[in-house]
Amino acid sequence: MAATDATLTLSRCAEAADALSCAAITRTPNGLISRINAQLQNIGGIRTRGVDVTAVYRSPRTSAGTFGLSLNGNILLKYAESFPATVGFTTTNYQGTTRGSPEQSYPKFKGNAVVDWDIGLMRASFTGRYIKSVKEADGKRLDNTFYGDVQLTLAPGWLENRLGLTIGVNNVFNQDPPACYSCTGPNYDPTTYDVPGQFGYIRLSWGL
């Protein structure tokens, strides 16, 4: 089950005169829209297609330490939902778009890369996360977004690496999520983008 996007309901009523969509729209006596019923309903189905790509490299151990690189990407080729209409079904492909109520974005490409350096009792890493731009129903573009995370881990040798101290900062560049005018609540899509601001943490771990 899923809620039909309000913009889709409006366009199906206005452009296709779909009776089910028009019935979900409530108007005031002077003709203004006062409410759109977006309750959960059975959908005809979801068809999705994509490609996942992964590449990993780790260097031999050298006097300068060990270096690693990990690449992961997802290419979305199709994400189509079919909803019941007065006659048959209507299908919408959300690839490369974002929608509000409920918020959900479908970028054509998402990827992340991790570069790490390991030497002795210390390990440092940088993670870059990239989200390709998407468009709202009115054509407004949510720009490409890049997040960077850094992490440093120390493991004292005299404790046989049982104790680990990790310090990190997510969104080190303080990248704000792109504004989404069709989204409800915080005016951005929290299912795809980070909460605004940097996030720092310290973690102490112990393993037997």
Tens digits of residue pLDDT in 8-31: 777 778 777 777 778 888 888 887
Q: How far apart are CA 66 and CA 99, in angstroms?
A: 43
Instruction: Decide if pLDDT at 194 tops 70.
Output: yes
pLDDT of residue 45: 79
Task: Please tell me whether the peptide bond between 102 and the residue prior to it is cis, using omega within 30 degrees of 0.
Answer: yes
pTM listed for this prediction? 0.75
Sign for the CA dihedral angle at 10, 15, 17, 18 comes to negative
Choice among 113-117, 154-158, 172-176 with the minimum mean pLDDT: 154-158
Give the mean model confidence (pLDDT) for residues 181-203. 90
Average pLDDT, the chain: 86
Work out the pLDDT band at 112, boundaries 50, 70, 90.
very high
Q: How far is CA 203 from CA 67, 135, 175, in A?
A: 23, 38, 23
| CB-based contact 72:5 (threshold 8 Å) | no
pLDDT over threshold 60, residue 134: yes
In this predicted structure, the answer to whether residue 127 has a pLDDT above a threshold of 60 is: yes
pLDDT at 41 over 80: no
Do residues 56 and 45 touch, judged by C-beta distance below 8 A? no
Which band of pLDDT confidence, cut at 50, 70 and 90, is reported for residue 6?
Answer: confident
Distance, in Å, from the CA atom of 145 to the CA atom of 104, rounded to the nearest integer, reads 15
Q: Is the dihedral of CA 100, 72, 144, 45 positive or negative?
A: negative
What is the predicted pLDDT for the residue at 71?
98
pLDDT of 70 > 70? The answer is yes
